[in-house]
Structure 1
Amino acid sequence: MSIVDVAERAGVSPATVSRSLRGLAKVSPDTRRRVVEAARELDYVTLLQANSIEAGPRRTVAVIVPYITRWFFSTVTAGAVDLLRSQAYDVMLYHLGSADVRDQFFERVPLDARVVGILTLSMPLTEEHTLALRALDLPMVSVGTRVPGSPSVGIDEAAAATSAINHLLHLRHERIGLISGTADDARFGFVSSAARRRGAERALAAAGRPLDPRLVADGSHGLEGGAAAMAKLLSRSTLPTAVFAESDELAIGALWALRRAGLAVPEDMSIIGVDDHEMAAMLDLTTIAQSVPEQGEVAAELLIQLLDGTAGDDVCEPVFLPTRLVLRASTAPPPRPRRTTAPGPGSSGRGRASRTG
């Protein structure tokens, strides 16, 4: 059962259903009564929150997050929540956690009746998802993806990857590998890895060194995904001298896998990531830094402007925050001679494995 079903039963638009159940103005008593009756007849879940309409002023923002346990999402959320609370807004967090739960969520969009605005984090929305949110008739801002007609905040993902590859090229690396989290992206519809791969491929092509598919390992986002992807690379007969990991968490997992294989960074292989994760400095990881908390803050500020009517005419133009190269000890010029074979099964995993030119 969805808001569209309630609208059809009551003979009104989905937006009117949303306004009616949330106690917004410009809805006649008769229309509100028909909507409430239709929602009750259809057992629509939003009706269960409608009793809170009279509870007091409505200053609650819904933050819809795919994975609250992951560093990027939790850090963006923290930045947004801090700013919203400083402006006397309450926050209601909706943690989805899987593509199946996401789809179930958007079938009903069970937002609390007190919600006045929405922040979505790094979730590309299907046409059906977008229509479901627009039917709520609430201001919305997205982080990390674009929703037509709504403000968005993020970074130029492709440009960040291009900067990482250019750094490795500047160090004279020729065999540059890539570790991505596209397995998760395919399930949830994330677009960051695809954009970063485009940027990496563009930089390599411009240097006359197209990305070698033998030097690419796909996996899941996170530390374990990075370790597994690096293990795939190490199992192949031809190895890179440097690897671009599409996130710092992937890079940190890759560092762990290299250490277990007895390989030193950057003496045997250079590693660079994207994010400037809170662990990156501790692990001396070279990275393309983005201001993650600031993305949440800027998105929250844009939403507040929409809510209080102070947003400018260009509010729906995407906001791209800058990135920068942070040089640490995980990247260096390639070793000589280059390593082209992985340690054999009988290797102790310590010291330098034999290399061939």
Structure 2
Amino acid sequence: MELKDFYYDLPKELIAQHPSDVRDECRLMVLNKKTGEIEHKIFKDIINYLNPGDCLVLNDTRVMPARLIGEKEGTGGKIEFLLLKRLQGDMWETLVKPGKRAKVGTKFTFGDGILKAEVKKIGEDGNRVVEFYYNGIFEEILDKLGEMPLPPYITEKLNDKEKYQTVYSKNEGSAAAPTAGLHFTKELLEEIKEKGIKIVFLTLHVGLGTFRPVKVDKIEEHHMHSEYYILSKESADIINKTKENGGRVVSVGTTSTRTLETIGDENGKVKEKSGWTDIFIYPGYKYKIVDALITNFHLPESTLIMLVSALSNREIILNAYETAVKEKYRFFSFGDAMFIK
């Protein structure tokens, strides 16, 4: 398939720059994946589309304040580090801007010297392997000095860091939020549970590769980044029981979806597992576990719009996106939601 097959025209003003004031009062487009029929609702109406016996799967990862602004030792030149993943101990894979200032052996300092770093290696993709030096607990220092690593299309400053976390976030390790989950409130989750819908958690630490553009014309040639996931036995058992009893597995976000489809076998079963996934889902893929999906509106020509197209079909999804543009829905990380049923 061609990359241009997943293009749609998006006016810049529809890219949401800040989160909804009330999480569950953003807009919700409900899309029938088979017929293409569309309904316009608000997010808290999602409860009316979930049935007793269904299972809602949420990603409980927590975003690290992974953006550090510092300076080069000696010259004072400004530098920006984005922590991508911990390799071991205090060694991290990072994205550094401007890269030309970060040669092997160069040292940097952050927050008046309470955190220091040295570039140890440069990867093929230009990412730097960096070792950090400090006294105390790294996470506490990061919490003090770090900023939320908002995607490049969000230009407004985020005043409250928690607005870029889901209300159920728990396991820190992501460089970006699983944004479909941002719409849930604790109260809404409680109502969903009371209706007889099972709620289970998995963890997938979102990497910035999520936002990396596809640079090949033939999408089959694109190689996905790897992300670390964990699914517990308890969650796996509930998901399997849901399938056996004829309920739907409703995945919240593309991250939960990629985890479930990585672990799922041909019989539609999952098991307790952890590891790295680089699964790439695009039209032609046959879903094994996920029956329905709650997601945001994604970038044109992104791997995420390909994933949602595979759950329905490309024409139905692109028509829904064109409708969303016409109806002035808010797009991307802080935008409105879509339920593909």
With normalisation by structure 2, the TM-score equals 0.33
Structure (1/2) with the larger strand percentage: 2
- The structure with the largest alpha-carbon Rg is 1
Q: TM-score, normalised by structure 1?
A: 0.32
